[in-house]
Structure 1
Amino acid sequence: MTEFSYQLYSSRNFGPWAATYAMLAKAGYTMVEGFGGVYEDAGATKAALDAAGLTMPSGHFFPAGAFEDGLEDSLATAKALGMKRVFCPAPEDDLRDNGTSEDWKALAHRLEAAAPKLRDAGLDFGWHNHHWEFMPLPDGSIAMEILLQEAPSIDWEMDVAWVVKGGGDPLAWMERYADRITTAHIKDIAADGECEDEDGWADVGHGTMDWAGLTTALRKTRCDLFIMEHDNPSDHARFAERSIASTNTY
């Protein structure tokens, strides 16, 4: 049975963090994925995770400058928390809706330049997608293709639901880039008209995504880390518990 990690961004609107960690451990999680909201005192976060019996093998650092001028601080945080892989989770605001193919190429080259520095520090490094990367740019190109082609050294943390939201076919992307996908976000899209107070996201196994089939396909890639996420749950304990309960056969 797969052990699932949990993206702590899902619990950003709840707290305190120590209580969240205890809740996750009780629900059956053994790992969490970090984000900026838990990095301010990395030592205290590590102690709280240890107390709950959780590890943090991966984390998000934003923006791309966190791997440039901010690299020293990012490395110190990752080391303090025991991370093995780190991801840039989104482009800067100006690329999200108005970026051109040249803008995305420039970002890819920045990521490619950062990759050997992360490797030298003992960390795997990659990109985490949203929907923007799959929506055609003004010249018809696809930003995700640009990133993976122009930054051949980076890995991909595939947020499968965002691929769908962007109009992509996740199975086709998994097949094409099987050698680049090391990590995946597991989250669900609610049926039309449902979960509107949660931005249209659902607990895993309670939405429209075929997660049994998708995880089978993911296991044919390099993916070995599955991370539960909900972008805006009204009750994070409900989300955590129902989601992991639904994945026993995945």
Structure 2
Amino acid sequence: MPYDHSIKKQKPELLDQQRRQFLKLSALGLGVAGLGMASLPVSADIKTAVTTAKVVPGLQLYTLRDLMAQSVTDTLKLVAGVGYTQLEFAGYYDQSPAALKRIMDSEGLTAPSAHVPLEVMQKELDKVIEQALVVGHKYLVLPYLMDTDRKTIDQYKALAEFLNKAGEKIRSAGMQLAYHNHDFEFVKLSGQVPYDVLLNETDAKLVQMELDLYWVVKAGLSPLELFARQPGRFPLWHVKDMDKAGGFADVGKGVIDFKPIFAKAEAAGLHHAFVERDQTDNRVETIRQGFSALSRLLS
């Protein structure tokens, strides 16, 4: 999704309820007990999964963009209170990289990954890399293509060329470039599948993939097919669920069968899995449910 940082799609009364809940939790110190996590029957299993699994539950902060716009510090306290230890940023919300690092350190958080819009990557890659090194990112991800950037297959070919060049520069700085999909990359243009162009015309060492499981299923494909075609190419996943109508659902509350997908995590090359939900009426419950469900899948 593009980063409009808006709350237009939230119902005002529901957003107000979330704000009151958010402030109440902040006043309580945002501990696990304050979030009601102690009442979850799988709490012990969650702790074991987080401490022993190679991959731990992460959170894409786009899910909390309205709360981030109010207070980055309080939002990251909330995230840590739920139990997350890894983040993926979608904008810094006017915070300096050094300030973000201090906040994360104080909450026991790291941010292995960050989304960087194409225009920013094209115009300010050196600055992006400099900031990423301060925050501690290991991956920089191109998250979305605007309509004007994806009208023709030639645009995807040009994008692949750019990604190779950017990926080389990012790799030389000790990080990895990745591309995040939606569903439009799987719609043929001039007889070719754009996602295939990106896979085949980029160097796997320079450009890896952040696979959004929801959007792959939405496109009518199986993540398992992609893993089989390009094993080890998918170190980052977005884990979001789908309701019966094809819309968004909290992880574990929808119709996507995640178990066979996670059974192939090693073959895919998974290093980090991030809960995300683009639109939700209760962001706090979404991240709680996501942490619980993803912990189960990773255990």
Q: Same fold (TM over 0.5)?
A: yes
* Deviation of 1:77 (Å): 1.6
Unpaired runs of at least 5, structure 2: 1-48
Question: Where does residue 240 of structure 1 map in the other structure?
Answer: 287
For residues 155-234 of structure 1, the aligned pairs below 5 Å read 155-192=208-245, 200-234=247-281
Distance 1:81 1:48, change over 3 A: same
The SS at the match of 2:209 is strand
Does the CA-based 8 Å contact 1:204-1:246 persist in structure 2? yes
Q: Confirm whether residue 130 of structure 1 aligns to residue 177 of structure 2.
A: no
**In structure 2, what is the Cα distance between the partners aligned to 1:111 and 1:148?**
11
The offset of 1:37, in angstroms, is 4.2
Map of 1:101 onto structure 2: 153
Q: Using a 3 Å threshold, how does the CA distance of structure 1 residues 154 and 39 change in structure 2: closer, same or farther?
A: farther
Q: Which has the higher contact order (CA 8 A, sep 6+)?
A: 2
Return closer, same or farther for 1:146/1:162 CA change in 2, 3 Å cut-off. same
Give, as a single letter, the amino acid of the residue that structure 1 aligns with 2:87.
V
Displacement of 1:133 in angstroms is: 0.7
Paired position in structure 1 for 2:199: 148
TM-score, normalised via structure 2 length? 0.76
- Which residue matches 1:81? 135
Q: Which amino acid aligns with 1:103?
A: Q
Is 2:57–2:295's contact at 8 Å kept on the other side of the alignment? Answer: no
**CA displacement 1:61-98 (0-9 Å, x = unmatched):** 001x43333111101220121111111111233134xx
| Distance of 1:173 and 1:133 partners within structure 2 | 13
Give a deviation string over 1:7-45, Cα, whole Å, max 9, x none.
001100224222221111111110100112446422222
What amino acid is aligned across from residue 239 of structure 2 in structure 1? I
Q: 1:86 to 1:213 in 2, by over 3 A?
A: same
CA distance in 1, matches of 2:170, 2:122: 10
1:17 is matched by which residue type in structure 2?
A: V
**Which deviates more from structure 2 when the two are superposed, residues 68-77 or residues 80-89?**
68-77
Instruction: For structure 1, list consecutive stretches of 5 or more residues without a partner in the other structure.
Output: 194-199
RMSD, matched Cα: 1.6
